Amino acid sequence: MIVAEGLTKYYGQQRAVADLSFTVRPGVVTGFLGPNGSGKSTTMRLILELDAPSSGAVTVNGKHYRDHRAPLHEVGALLEARSVHTGRSAYNHLLALAQTHGIGRRRVDELVDLVGLHDVAKKRAGQFSLGMGQRLGIAAALLGDPSTVMLDEPVNGLDPEGILWVRHLLKGLAAEGRTVFVSSHLMGEMSLTADHLIVIGRGRKIADMSTEEFIRQASGTRVLVRTPQAGELETLLSGPDVTVSANGSDLLEVSGLTAAQIGEAAASNQVVLHELTPQQASLEEAFMTLTKEEVEFKAAELESEEVGV
Amino acid sequence: MNSVSYVQQLPKLEHVGRVTQLRVVVSEWTKLRSLRSTRWSLFAAVLLTILFPVLFATLTRTHWGSMSPHERADRHPLDIALAGVNIAQLAVAVLGVLVITGEYSTGMIRASFTAVPKRLPVLWAKIVVFATVTFVLMLPAVIAAFFISQTILSKHDILQISFSHPGVARSVIGGAGYLALLGVFALAIGAIVRNTAGGIAVFAALFFVIPPLMNILPASWNNAISPYLPDAAGRRMFSLDTGAHDLHPWPGFLLFLAYTLLAVTIAAVLLVRRDT
């Protein structure tokens, strides 16, 4: 369980995270979404107390991370920027981390096997591909059998097989009752993995809700209608709150009406329908809608800065 | 490979211990010995410590006949025996800086501080491990350098000095002690600067650039300041003669120790306070 209250972080004059409050609960996968530079990695560093917040506080399992006696047993973390000495072998990297908690070599072997690095464990980490580096980072995160798993962009650089593996692993960890907190810019991946979403933009929280609700809220009602009598139906449906746009000769995109309302209107006026499909916005679209203002604001700010120079 | 075969449950860990200083020391020992750069630097330091006295002793022996009395008087057997310390200090200092800056440049420091978020145990462990390893390796090296160079110079009575002669054992052991302490000093500089090139530059400035610059000062100033610089103070640990303006060996050692402790204190304060 991670609880953040009013978390704020400035780097010099630059605000990275602003008044961020959220709770990450055990037993589900919580996705942490935001455009690049929105403060996801900063938030994770603040949770681990690698950086100190300018104001506000964050606790893990009821305590500041620093105050835990066995930190690796509380939080297992994979940070976005690589956190591995390039000159050391994967095995020795894991061993050195394990030894700080008196964790033995057998556990290191177990994790090397779990993440599929058995054949390259004695190789220097600097020779690893991005995907292998991610696997090593995940192994390090799971070393202490942590009750909270926090991964920054874990599927970055993984092949499709690896992505599938991470997805199953995360769901499995959550099913065991652990707290799983995963950031990603791959919205599609999040919609498949995360049960709950915390969305931030420019360091501020934009949304904090179940993935299902997030998509529903952002998608509105949009229905795709295929009919040979497109013109007729368009006139029929038009109203003050309804927008109908023609998409080719026989395709209409209707918003403001449900599929049922459209179907009934067509039936009572004997209009033939070939297709009637309620459209669900993808998580990508939902995300874009929500963060649009943030991104636009940023772009405008950048422009004015450039003019200023 | 079938992707399903990948999916395995995370095995439970039966016993999770808490972080202790001793465990962090064990971890830092693993880190130190598992890097190629460490092994090479220490190997080079040991080799240089022995090879240079061998080289100087051999040159002295072969050229003895053609040396002027003044030149001969300038040769001191202990200077020859410990000549390698001057060279080895470069390897030790660079490695001392790298022990910590290598973690910053690769991002390893984030993993280290995630495992040990109180941070200071990491610094103490690095200091203990590096100082111990350096001392344990350099002590046999300086002792070997002493006896090998003495053997090479055995034909020249005036270049013979007994290990039991007052101050000789202290100087020889002091050579290894100086290198160990210097390594700690360099490590602290690395922790303060957090950048390999910067750390080495600061070290080089303190030990190789500032001391000769002192000669520009008026002699009275130079004599008043120079003996108290870290380099001059530290070198008293492995020197026999005390010049008119030099500190005696033990005060020199204590001053160098004080400089090192000051650097370590600054490093510790910054380590806890700064963002990673």
The SS3 call for residue A49 is coil
Q: How far is B110 from chain A (nearest CA, A)?
A: 6
Distance CA B247, CA A25 (A): 64
Instruction: Identify the pLDDT of residue A80.
Output: 76
Percent of chain A with pLDDT over 90: 60
Tens of pLDDT along A127-147? 999 999 999 999 999 999 999
Q: In a mutagenesis test of the B interface, which of A83, A94, A166 is the best target, namely the one with the most B β-carbons within 10 Å?
A: A83
- What type of residue is B171? S
Residue A96: pLDDT over 90: yes
Q: How confident is the model at residue A308 (pLDDT cuts 50, 70, 90)?
A: very low
Residue A299: pLDDT over 70: no
A96 and B30: CB-CB below 8 Å? Answer: yes
Q: How far is A268 from chain B (nearest CA, A)?
A: 51
Q: Where are the beta strands (DSSP E) in A66-142?
A: 75-78
Closest Cβ–Cβ partner in B16, B118, B275 for A101: B16
What are B72's two structure tokens? 């001969």
B110 close to A46: Cβ distance less than 8 angstroms? no
Residue A102: pLDDT over 50: yes
Residue B108 CB neighbours (<10 A):
23
Residue A295: pLDDT over 70: no
Instruction: Provide the ipTM.
Output: 0.92
Tens of pLDDT along B169-179? 999 999 999 99
Q: In a mutagenesis test of the B interface, which of A99, A127, A145 is the best target, namely the one with the most B β-carbons within 10 Å?
A: A99
Instruction: Identify the pLDDT of residue A309.
Output: 38
Residue A218: pLDDT over 50: yes
Residue A5: pLDDT over 90: yes
DSSP A190-246: HHHH-SEEEEEETTEEEEEEEHHHHHHHHH--EEEEE-TTHHHHHHHH-BTTBEEEE
CA A289 to chain centre: 16
Nearest CA in chain A to B271: A50
Instruction: Identify the pLDDT of residue B3.
Output: 41
- By mean pLDDT, which of A252-256, B41-45, B198-202 is the weakest? A252-256
Instruction: Identify the pLDDT of residue A286.
Output: 66
Instruction: Identify the pLDDT of residue B1.
Output: 42
Residues of A in contact with B110 (CB under 8 A): 45, 50, 79, 81, 83
What are B21's two structure tokens? 């200083």
Tell me the H-state helices in B107-167.
108-115, 120-152
Residues of A in contact with B34 (CB under 8 A): 88-89, 92, 95-96
Closest Cβ–Cβ partner in A69, A75, A77 for B19: A69
Mean pLDDT value across residues A24-48: 93
Instruction: Identify the pLDDT of residue A157.
Output: 84
The helix or strand, by DSSP H or E, that contains position A276, with its residue range, turns out to be: strand A275-279
Mean pLDDT value across residues A64-93: 94
B23 and A102: CB-CB below 8 Å? Answer: yes
Angle in degrees, CA A195, A201, A205, rounded to 5: 60
